[in-house]
Amino acid sequence: MIVLDAILLSLIQPLLNASLYFGERILSGIADIFGGIILLVIGVLVILLVVAAAIVLIPAILVAVLVLFVTGSFFYAGIAFLAVALISMLAMAGD
């Protein structure tokens, strides 16, 4: 086992000291700025979609959990979840 560890260490140790910089940079200057702006916009859109989904789903989840505790039936809880989620989506679409 010690021999295997020594072999693996001798293979990995040069990689730790190697530079990860290969060749010239592909993007520079103005392309970096545009790339950063595009990634920022995509990030903001993803955050907005997650928040919108949470706003729609939280009431549906709460109602489904309440129905599950009252009736003990996953079927009724699923129907309640779908009904409240549909009502929430229709209410948000109407705004």
Query: Rounded to an integer, what is the distance from CA 8 to the centroid of its chain?
Result: 35
Q: Which long-range contacts (CB under 8 A, 24 or more apart) does 47-53 make?
A: 52/92
Average pLDDT, the chain: 81
Segment 75-80 mean pLDDT: 94
Global confidence as pTM: 0.54
Residue-level pLDDT at 24: 53
Quote the CA–CA distance of 43 and 13 in Å, as a whole number: 37
Residue-level pLDDT at 17: 60
Residue 15 has pLDDT above 70, yes or no: no
Enumerate the H helices of 1-95 as residue ranges.
2-17, 30-71, 74-94
Quote the CA–CA distance of 69 and 73 in Å, as a whole number: 8
